[in-house]
Amino acid sequence: MSNHRVPTTFRHPLGVVSLLCLVVLLQGFAPQAEAAFSTPTNLSRTIQDSSDQQVASSGSHVYIVWRDNPNDTVLNPEILFARSSDGGKTFPTAWENLSSTPSTSAAPWVAASGQHVYVIWSESSGAATDGYYLRYSNDFGVTFGAPRNLTTLFGVPPFGNCAMAASGNNVLLSCTQSVSGNNEIVVARSNDNGTTFSSPQNVSLSPSSVSVKSRIAASGSNVYVAWEEGIGAASEIFLARSVDNGVSFGTPTNMSNAVGSSISATVDADGSSVWLAWSDRSGGTDEVFYRRSADGGANFSAVGNLSNTPSGSSTPSVKGKGSQVYVAWADAPTSNPTSNLPDVYLRSSSNGGMTFDESTNISNSAMVNSNQPRVGLTDLAVSVFWGEPASFREIYYSYQELSVPVPPPSMLSLTPASGMQTQAVDVVLSGAGFQGEPQWQLSGTGVTVTDVEFVSATAMKGKLHVALNAAPGGRNLTVSNPDGQSATLNGAFTVMSASALMLIEITRADVNMGIGNGGLLASSSDSSNSSYKSLLAHLENAERALLHQPADLATAINQMDAFYIKIGNLAKGNKPEITQAFYATLYADYAAVMDSLGGTVKPAQ
């Protein structure tokens, strides 16, 4: 199928909706993107059917998974993965097969938080290895760990149509599971990047009605689970909220309260904002309805009709970030409302979802069926993904660059701010405006940077390796985001001379050698000698303080002062092996080394 599309068209503006009975203050909101959506592009590019696409976005990255048959001759569904590092504008030409099994792979889902990316799917072969599998990446989806069977390890329902969300190091799964013969929605949680999971807990608590097709979102410690629940001959959309990372959930709330069937829930959250949409046919045809919360799900706006068309509107997808919110769905073209070949439409909000712009036809696919839209959202672009038949069904996408200014990074502090020659120092950088896959550069030579880890927009981690020949003194740290913007923190890190460590090692050797070999104490070979033990203890404590991250110079000097006071007292006592002249030489070396590090020592004895 050709990628050619007719120009973007607009639908009729939304009528008065009950949820929008708030005064909208336009001042202070980020401007909405003005650029047109790109020409739809075939992302999957396989010769078999591509389906069940799911999308996640975090920082400047967008990730997509789907079910496909990548083999030309063998019909064996696998789970394929692709990633974008420029906000969802471009994807590599080659996708990655994450399942790669001889059994049937299905029901994929992807979630992301910072550099952490998680992909789950179900394997079915009639064998004991059936179940839900997880692969985890800690480098923005560049590489993934081995698959792990969450069913055999933690009891995740093997065919539970699971959804997934991530926040920080927390990963949460919501699945359908039979409880006492009735389908319920259960949640399993992990607080260690998916290494372990809790036993699934029942959050729907509906023993007399069937609960299915859950969706889950997380932001901070808040978790939101939405699902379809059968009420009589119809179904409703219910939602349960947790404020403790999914440890416990409140009583489920009926969010749709409609006359007709409410299905296809979609939920997203960012900060204290929560957005919920679903499809409902109370008016005779399916429409997309919507509610929002600005207080972490404690209260929600009234139900509003977002699609408001005479045709059937279905399979919505909602995505929000800050003040920007997007809702996509499948609907018959405006020019032919009775058509059974829908297009993908999108409405956008620049004020947190209080009001929405007119809907836009994103797919414009004319005489083919475009459906199951999914939305990705970054600071750089909003991207929409959907299924559409070519020779076989393919995954298409289109993006719109955002005109919202992306601020450059800013840095507050690097902790610890110093390191000794020969040390490898684990550091934490705090600031704002950080993006995934940043680059660090230190001024000067002799200090190399490894293991840079994006934690959040306000924090990163890294390791600084200080060479023995690194010149002592300050270093400036420059951080560059993937969008090319950078910032420099002057004097972020100080290289400290290892001469103090070398002095301690030489002095320890002096103490250990004994007078016969030119050492400090005649009885140093006698481990029971109290002076010998005391002197070595001071040296060891000083060395430990200098090797601490950051180096504890004050403690090191205190311990070395105590050492030289004792040596000075030995000299005053006319010990044959320690003369006043020898003590003065030792002390002068010590004072010079510590002075080079910026420390002040006690006067000589």
Q: What is the pLDDT of residue 549?
A: 62
Of 576, 436, 551, 353, nearest to 85 by C-alpha is: 436
How is residue 441 written in tokens? 């550069």
Which residue type occupies 566?
A: K
The residue among 584 and 459 whose pLDDT is bigger is 459
C-beta of residue 154 within 8 angstroms of C-beta of residue 199: yes
Q: What is the pLDDT of residue 367?
A: 77
The answer, yes or no, to whether residue 12 has pLDDT greater than 90, is: no
CA angle 326, 329, 331 (to 5 degrees): 140
Pairing mode, strands 447-456 and 360-361: unpaired
Supply the mean pLDDT for the chain.
Answer: 85
Residue 92 CB neighbour total at 10 angstroms: 10
Helix (H) or strand (E) holding 152: helix 150-154
CATH of 33-401, one of 3.40.50.300, 2.120.10.10, 2.60.40.10, 3.50.30.40: 2.120.10.10
- Helices (H), ranges, 353-498: none
CATH class of 410-496: mainly beta
* Residue 10 DSSP class: B
Hey, which bits of 128-261 come out as E strands? 131-137, 148-149, 163-167, 170-179, 182-190, 201-202, 211-219, 222-231, 234-242, 253-254
What are the pLDDT digits (tens) for 465-491?
Answer: 998 788 888 899 999 988 788 999 999
Which residue type occupies 167?
A: S
CA separation for the pair 27, 273 (Å, rounded): 19
Q: Over range 185-204, report the average pLDDT.
A: 97
What are the pLDDT digits (tens) for 388-447?
Answer: 986 688 999 999 998 766 788 999 999 998 888 878 899 999 999 898 888 999 999 999
Lowest mean per-residue pLDDT among 185-194, 284-293, 451-460, 541-550: 541-550
The answer, yes or no, to whether residue 556 has pLDDT greater than 50, is: yes
Q: Give percent above pLDDT 70 in the chain.
A: 83
Q: Give percent above pLDDT 90 in the chain.
A: 57
What are the pLDDT digits (tens) for 574-594?
Answer: 555 566 776 677 677 677 766
Confidence of residue 558 (pLDDT cuts 50, 70, 90): confident
Residue 536 CB neighbour total at 10 angstroms: 17
Q: What is the pLDDT of residue 15?
A: 32
The answer, yes or no, to whether residue 521 has pLDDT greater than 60, is: no
Task: Give the residue extent of every domain in the chain.
Answer: 33-401, 410-496, 499-596
C-beta of residue 553 within 8 angstroms of C-beta of residue 598: yes
CA separation for the pair 118, 136 (Å, rounded): 5
* Residue 390 DSSP class: S
Of 259, 343, 254, 255, nearest to 307 by C-alpha is: 343
* Residue 517 DSSP class: G
Burial bucket for residue 361 (CB in 10 Å: 0-12, 13-18, 19+)? buried
C-beta of residue 535 within 8 angstroms of C-beta of residue 509: no
The answer, yes or no, to whether residue 28 has pLDDT greater than 60, is: no
Query: What is the Cα 546 distance to its own chain's centre?
Result: 35
Q: Over range 62-74, report the average pLDDT.
A: 87
Confidence of residue 83 (pLDDT cuts 50, 70, 90): very high
CA separation for the pair 289, 308 (Å, rounded): 9
Pairing mode, strands 163-167 and 148-149: unpaired
The answer, yes or no, to whether residue 235 has pLDDT greater than 70, is: yes
The answer, yes or no, to whether residue 281 has pLDDT greater than 80, is: yes
Secondary structure (3-state) at 584: helix
Can you give the pTM of this predicted structure? 0.71
Q: What are phi and psi of 501, to 5 degrees?
A: -65, -40
How is residue 108 written in tokens? 């994929």
The answer, yes or no, to whether residue 243 has pLDDT greater than 80, is: yes
CA separation for the pair 392, 414 (Å, rounded): 53
The answer, yes or no, to whether residue 35 has pLDDT greater than 80, is: no
Q: What is the pLDDT of residue 519?
A: 56
Helix (H) or strand (E) holding 509: helix 499-513
Contacts of 565 (CB under 8 A, 6+ apart): 602, 605
Q: What is the pLDDT of residue 204?
A: 97
Confidence of residue 24 (pLDDT cuts 50, 70, 90): very low
Q: What is the pLDDT of residue 2?
A: 34
Of 184, 318, 168, nearest to 249 by C-alpha is: 184
